[in-house]
Amino acid sequence: MELFHRTAHELAELLRRKELSAVELCDAVLGRIEAVEPRVRAYVTVMADVAREQAKAVDARRAAGEDLPPLAGIPLAVKDNMCTVDAPTTCSSKVLEHFVAPYDATVVARARQAGCVFTGKTNLDEFAMGSSTENSAFFTTCNPWDLERAPGGSSGGSAAATAAGEAIIALGSDTGGSIRQPASFCSLVGLKPTYGRVSRYGLVAFASSLDQIGPLTKDVRDTALLMNLLAGHDPMDSTSADRPVPDLTELLGRDIRGIRIGVPKEFFAEGTDPEVANAVHAAIRQLESLGAIVGEASTPTVSYGLPTYYIIAPSEASSNLARFDGVRYGHRTSKPVADNVELYEQSRAESFGPEVQRRIMIGTYALSAGYYDAYYLKAQKVRTLLKRDFDKVFEQFDIIAWPTSPCLPFRFGERGDPLSMYMADVCTIPVNMVGIPAVSLPCGFSSGGLPIGIQLGASYFEEPKLLQVAYAYEQSAGFHARRAPLGASCGGEA
């Protein structure tokens, strides 16, 4: 197998034994980017020079006899909504097209300190608002499994880069499924950690009570290794959880006999693709064959998750994106304006895309005088009911299992209606609403060879048990070992 298709833990062992150098690995991945990036288009910025210097530094440290962290020398892609001092942070928006942050995001700083090699900043739906990367202001990223289909979103660039071998591991952010849905569409492992488990400092905010950074990797062990690096308290983030972080690799390989798995019936509602439902049910039977105790669960209020999310998330977005006013940084109109109000209006109209404008308008309306109680306040009350449902489920079960996405990866333009696109996140949104951890992992392929993902969820800060179960399934099923074929064409130019 080519170096760029191997897992991080396999490569880390080769690096540790000095059978491979960080520079050799870096060159292999950069060569892969050069070969396939014109078709995949995963990166907004390729950081080739930075990557080579970082790789040389890792080799020098290892040659000097230094004991390096597990992921030292491993090529890592960073979603382009996380601040980096040595590359632009654009959020795939014309607003920030040329913005270079004066500081690293905490997760970037931790990866840098651990010796990761930064391959570049990956494409996303503008300000992370979307499920396909079709909302990027620059271009659309293609799914390596079928270049005429979406890789998912908003972390589509990170997922496509990892699946195509243009990175070994990647960072994504997840506000309503933006790590897990691309993981499902690209046959990867994607983890949305417990809210507060990973620092959001330096992540350009979309919806602050929902956003969370997490890994996109080729297998569960890589996810555990990257989470070991990312997780932990950060005084720079007031929502960061101040509690110990266990070694997430410790339970991998442990028996899952007796672990109780609930299957919420509401997530298999009408509209779920039959091939998706069949693959997920087969995966659940596989878990049962490994000794897990499977039973039916119920989350009655989950049907309200989608409409509730699309009040809360746009409301927070309208507040967070108010800072992009054309005054302090970001795009500023070159047209003559009469006053500051016209400056704000013109600058924002020129630089925000249609989906971002739509969500700002929805959120501003929901927060406006006379409508706050009817929409935003009521949505927060429903969010509490949703949390209570999940709390009750976890009194009975250790893990819950359901589809990551109700649909297979769709063709570009197939979901042009915003409501149709929003429905693609119906299975992932509730996790963000209640703040629990959830992971998507490959559980099969459609008759047409398209990836399908199963989603596993656990109670707060139960990532060790979550990854234990995910690893047991992964190793018994083996779907994670397949690599994307990378077809010859690419559609969906934005």
Q: Which of 188, 189, 211 is nearest to 201 (CA)?
A: 211
With CA atoms as reference, report the closest residue to 72 among 108, 109, 116.
116
Q: Which residues pair with 294 in a beta bridge?
A: 261
- pLDDT score recorded for residue 487: 65
Q: Which of 21, 79, 405, 465 is catalytic?
A: 79
What range defines the domain where residue 191 resides?
A: 3-259+456-481
- The DSSP code sequence of 381-429 is HHHHHHHHHHHHHHHH-SEEEEES-SSPPPBTTTT-SHHHHHGGGTTTH
79 is catalytic: yes
| Residues of the chain scoring pLDDT < 50 | 491-494
For residue 262, the model assigns a pLDDT of: 98
The pLDDT value recorded for residue 494 is 32
Residue 342 lies in a domain: no
Active site residue 238: no
CATH number, domain of 460, equals: 3.90.1300.10
Residue 136 lies in a domain: yes
Determine the pLDDT at residue 493.
Answer: 37
Active site residue 405: no
Structural domain count, the chain: 1
- Confirm whether 349 is domain-assigned: no
- Which residues are within 8 A (CB) of 378 and not within 5 positions of it... i.e. 6 or more apart? none
Asked if the structure places residue 402 within a domain, the reply is no
Closest by Cα among 171, 170, 165, 191 to 180: 191
Q: Is residue 447 part of a domain?
A: no
Check 92, 93, 173, 178 and give the catalytic one.
178
Contact 158, 171 (CB under 8 A): yes
pLDDT in tens, 190-202: 999 999 999 999 9
**Among 21, 154, 240, 315, which one carries the catalytic annotation?**
154
| pLDDT for position 491 | 44
Residue 376 domain flag: no
Residue 358 lies in a domain: no
Question: How would you list the strands of the sheet with 169-174, edge to edge?
Answer: 43-46, 117-122, 75-79, 169-174, 212-217, 189-192, 438-445, 451-458, 399-403, 260-264, 293-297
| Token pair 């990378």: residue | 486
CA distance 176 to 433: 8
**Contact present, 206 and 316 (Cβ < 8 Å):** yes
pTM: 0.96
